Structure 1
Amino acid sequence: MKKLALIVSNNLWSCPYVKIYSKLLDGWGIDYDIISWDREGREEEGIQYTNIEKSRNPLCVFMSFVRFSAFVKRTVRKNNYSKLIVFDSQLGIFLASFLKKYYQGNYVFDYRDLSIEQKTLFKKSFSTLLKNSYLNVISSPGFKKYLPQFDYTLCHNIDIIKAQKGLMPVAPPDYKQGIKVLTIGAIRQDLNYEVIDSLGDKEEITLSFVGKGPFSSNLEGYVKDKGYKNINFKGFYKKEEEESIIRDCTMINIAYPLIPSHISALSNRFYNSLIYRRPMIVTKGTIQGDFAEKYKVGLTLNEYTNLASEIINYLNDLNNSDYDNNCKMLLSKIIEENELFEQKLKDFVVKEL
């Protein structure tokens, strides 16, 4: 009998935070399964439920979750796991009654994004899910504003070893040959049209989009239509290329709109900005903007009309030594929070039933 099951309602490649758990469990010598939903016909490790979604119609999505949750219940009963780790609120809500009945106090719930729990219809089930868990984990303190009042433990979406390396000396960016602003990772709409128009054809600044996402082609087409020559798109990149790409830039663009999902989240770019000492460009009023202001690790703005001059003024006033120390201070806080999470997870794993 395997002690644990990690349950995630997506392909594993799109859920890197699952590796935070699997690495810890491997290190502790804990036997576990990963139960995942294969939405793409992509073979991955563990126990897979394959259902390639062809429609995002709400009813179709609802029925897909009904079928996946039924698969999960069958698999859990068959393998008789002693404890579970459940990821994301959609899946958690569909499993809430099952978890309360059979795993009360013997599951961890991990929350990474605002979702259907914000709708009145699902609030009761979501509260049941939180109330009956051993531990409720969130990846950003910004989520607390939108969640019921429970105890939450932070687990930042960052490799702690990578974060610890970020405490070592890092060379500041050299922008004497020009300022390079980078948007890396999943390319979404966010406030990127505003950023593009503000930086378009500014001779002293280059804007790069490296990665793919639902708005990549839209943004690239917009740049072509506008005729901006200093903005480029580079598509997918290998994970091992990420560090060199970031080190080659001057600042990192994290211009988010003021909507709940973006106000509350901490992005991968946020962490990479701190680790590689490339100041972030963030929106005032978001959790990332709050951290940037408190620790003085980036440029925070209400709007992006005069972004080019704001960037130049910020860099001219930047004290690299102070900035370096501020990044280390915030990284140390993040590491401490993840270490606390690790201890709580270990307590859960070794706890007797």
Structure 2
Amino acid sequence: MKICILSTVDLSRMTMLSLYTNYFEKNKIKYDIICANKYDDNYLETANKIYEFDAKKTINSNVFAKLAHFWKMRNFAKKIIDNNKYDYIIVWNQVTAFIFSDILIKQYRKKYCINVRDYHYDDNPLIKYRITPAIREADFNTVSSEAFKKFLPDGEYLTIHSLNKKMLNQLEPRNHYRSVNEKINILNIGQIRWPENIFPMIEELKNDSRYIMTFVGQGSHVIEEYIKGRHIENVIVHGRFEPIETIKYLKDADILFNLYGTGNLHVDTALSIKLYYAIYLNIPILTYNGTYIGEVSNTLGIGYCISKNSFEGLADNLHNWYHTRDINYIKETCSNFIEEIEQSHEKLYRRLDEILAKS
């Protein structure tokens, strides 16, 4: 059986790709990847072949420029698909499904699945016009958040949670939190977006001896620029990092930062990978009220939810809240949720088993 993973993003942005690649490796199935190349770091030892489309020009582009550039990817990828005559295609995100919709429907009806990772203007009439038939003609679709179903067309969806236990197994889940006299490290790991949600926290916690704020990821230069000249001593900034370094930063995290805004489907419905880091580690996560991630994390006892533009008093309130957490309760709720996560992965594997059985 010949499998293709088709994506308009680079490998480093393909969160939970390992769910599929581990399955293929275990079942000795060869697979190719057609993807974007932004940083010249696409490498996966188990892939049969990686076909890269040069996307370096899109690094600082707006969404429309990116869409126009990736539209050129159609011809690049179509030639590869036609030459290799794949048996099945895994379509990574809705942008990819949008761009390749007609090709998928005409040539691979019921022989592809779409992995919905985020909100990509799916309720826009033009996008919906192309996405809807692609979703309905797919073999099945996966979503990383139940809340995505609010804006997606009718279709079969498997909810696949984004916990990479194989990677996180290198870390020890917390059995206790920092003592009252120890510094609390708030970590923002991943691409720095919407810094307007970061700056108010920095202002509230700056030079507070109880806190360290660590920012790691592409775009962190905006944080460096912000603190420059403000004499802020408790902010640590690192630039872009390799995925393998994730463990290094999570090891020292006490609270994870996940304040991205509210009031739009993109941030209101997503369950970020940071939530799963927090669940595995039994540590708190900062979220906004009115978001689905806030609802889920609050249910588990790890969510510190605030209203947007309500950072006043954060230093004392967060410190008091952190030191009144019941770690045993949190360990139990997070452990139960991890069981639910693993069941979602098993559902995917059973579906892939069915595809393999047909070949």
The answer for unaligned runs of 5 or more in structure 1 is: none
- For residue 240 of structure 1, report the CA deviation from its aligned partner: 4.6
Contact 2:91 2:115 in 1 (8 A): yes
Name the counterpart of 1:193. Answer: 199
Matched, 1:22 2:26: no
Cα deviations across residues 128-150 of structure 1 (Å, max 9, x unaligned)? Answer: 11000001011122212222232
- For residue 234 of structure 1, report the CA deviation from its aligned partner: 3.0
Matched, 1:321 2:328: yes
Name the counterpart of 1:144. Answer: 149
- For residue 304 of structure 1, report the CA deviation from its aligned partner: 2.4
SS in 2 for 1:34: strand
* Alignment counterpart, residue 316 of structure 2, candidates 297, 303, 309: 309
| Alpha-carbon RMSD | 2.4
Name the counterpart of 1:285. Answer: 290
TM-aligned CA distance change 1:241 to 1:40, over 3 Å: closer
Matched, 1:346 2:353: yes
- For residue 82 of structure 1, report the CA deviation from its aligned partner: 1.5
Matched, 1:203 2:209: yes
Q: TM-score, normalised by structure 1?
A: 0.89
Matched, 1:224 2:228: yes
- For residue 106 of structure 1, report the CA deviation from its aligned partner: 0.9
- For residue 39 of structure 1, report the CA deviation from its aligned partner: 3.7
SS in 1 for 2:91: strand
- For residue 229 of structure 1, report the CA deviation from its aligned partner: 1.8
Contact 2:173 2:282 in 1 (8 A): no
Q: Which moved more, 1:11-20 or 1:281-290?
A: 11-20
TM-aligned CA distance change 1:232 to 1:157, over 3 Å: same
TM-aligned CA distance change 1:10 to 1:262, over 3 Å: same
Contact 1:5 1:85 in 2 (8 A): yes
SS in 2 for 1:180: strand
Q: How does 1:215-294 map to 2 (within 5 A)?
A: 216-237=220-241, 239-258=243-262, 259-294=264-299
Q: Which moved more, 1:44-53 or 1:134-143?
A: 44-53
Q: TM-score, normalised by structure 2?
A: 0.88
AA matched with 2:297: A
Contact 2:74 2:100 in 1 (8 A): yes
- For residue 43 of structure 1, report the CA deviation from its aligned partner: 5.9
Name the counterpart of 2:126. Answer: 121
**Distance between the aligned counterparts of 2:9 and 2:232, measured in 1?**
37
Name the counterpart of 2:178. Answer: 174
SS in 1 for 2:154: coil
Contact 1:90 1:117 in 2 (8 A): no
Q: Which moved more, 1:24-33 or 1:177-186?
A: 177-186
Name the counterpart of 2:5. Answer: 6
TM-aligned CA distance change 1:336 to 1:42, over 3 Å: closer
Matched, 1:298 2:290: no
Contact 1:201 1:230 in 2 (8 A): yes
- For residue 236 of structure 1, report the CA deviation from its aligned partner: 4.2
AA matched with 2:53: T
Identity of counterpart residues, as a percentage? 21
Count of residues in Structure 1 that have an aligned counterpart in Structure 2: 348
* Alignment counterpart, residue 338 of structure 2, candidates 331, 340, 343: 331
Cα deviations across residues 21-45 of structure 1 (Å, max 9, x unaligned)? Answer: 1111111121221122324455645
SS in 1 for 2:287: strand
**Distance between the aligned counterparts of 1:312 and 1:43, measured in 2?**
41
Cα deviations across residues 252-308 of structure 1 (Å, max 9, x unaligned)? Answer: 221220032111222222111111122111111112101112222221111322221
- For residue 123 of structure 1, report the CA deviation from its aligned partner: 0.8
- For residue 332 of structure 1, report the CA deviation from its aligned partner: 1.7
AA matched with 1:297: I
The answer for unaligned runs of 5 or more in structure 2 is: none
Name the counterpart of 1:153. Answer: 158
Contact 2:287 2:304 in 1 (8 A): yes
- For residue 63 of structure 1, report the CA deviation from its aligned partner: 4.1
Name the counterpart of 2:98. Answer: 93
Name the counterpart of 2:33. Answer: 34
